[in-house]
Amino acid sequence: MNLIGWRYAAASVVGTSHVKSGSVCQDANDCHEFQLASGEPVLVAVVSDGAGSAKCGGEGARLTCTVFVDLVSDHLGSGNTVEQISFDSARFWLEVIQSRLSSQAESASQQLRDYACTLLGAVIGTSCAAFIQVGDGAIVVADAEEVAFGHIFWPDRGEYENTTHFVTEEQVHEHLQFDSVRRDILELAMLSDGLQRLALDYRSQTAHQPFFQGLFPAFQRSPVGRSEDLCRSLSDFLSSSRVNQKTDDDKTLLLATRRPEAIVLGA
């Protein structure tokens, strides 16, 4: 298969319930493509959702995304590969993220829990990918052998309904989900919990295929790299009445593809 470079876009949009209360969006995201010394391209993507009960949750989410990308960049820049990312790597990164959040809280005379947020992270090479998750939200992918979309982890709920786990928790490593897969990932979707009911089928615990199949064709026709036009289109979609009728929470959607248009399902 003749693959081209990654094309990607993302948007984080404030929920209608937060608009009514005068709150700002507490979701954050980031996405970059790096190149190893060997020339192999590696996509690094991250989504974080600040806890609604945390007064600095949005700030925590933004800092978490920044630190995650920096840590992966350091890993790759030191000559390491995607295959060398392990559970221990993920645990160390989580410790660093928590330490940075703790330092930020201390400098602002706040508590660490005030920066509570989730973490969804993906590091995708040409034949191997590593995925990290703490809390809810979902990472969904399709590969070269299977055009159907499938989730990596099911959203992690807490002890009670509508609760989850956060990177600021003392025993956060107990809730760290990690997977390293030898797969040729061609498409990636990452979403915060505000979109779970639209994107996931809870009865079968699977990704809702029509939701993702309707989103990727425009990306497969776009130029390589980050598309600001598609970022705006995603923002408009997430702010639409169609979506807001289903959820009043903050919403983040990050999409990336390197599947050639010629083999788009149904093309």
Number of Cβ atoms within 10 Å of the Cβ of 139: 24
Instruction: Give per-residue pLDDT as tens, 198-229.
Output: 999 999 999 999 999 999 988 878 889 999 99
Convert the pLDDT of each residue in 4-42 to its tens digit. 789 999 999 999 987 887 788 999 999 999 999 888 999
Set out the domains of the chain in order of their start, with CATH numbers.
7-258 (3.60.40.10)
How many CA atoms are closer than 13 Å to the CA of 23, on its beta-carbon side? 23
* Torsion of the alpha carbons at 59, 70, 106 and 118, rounded to the nearest 10: 50
- For residue 189, CA distances in Å to 17, 47, 72, 165, 200 come to 24, 10, 19, 21, 12
The predicted pLDDT at position 99 comes to: 98
Task: Give pLDDT, residue 260.
Answer: 77
CA distance 61 to 18: 16
pLDDT digits (tens, 9 = 90+) for 46-60: 999 999 889 999 999
In the predicted structure, residue 262 carries a pLDDT above the cut 80: no
pLDDT at residue 267, as a whole number: 40
Mean pLDDT (whole number) for 56-77: 98
pLDDT at residue 142 tops 50:
yes
Residue 63 has pLDDT above 70, yes or no: yes
Tell me which residue has tokens 């705006």.
232
Average pLDDT over residues 116-124: 98
Please tell me the predicted confidence (pLDDT) of residue 26: 95
Q: What is the pLDDT of residue 263?
A: 46
- State the pLDDT confidence band at 158, using cuts at 50, 70 and 90: low
Mean pLDDT of the chain: 92
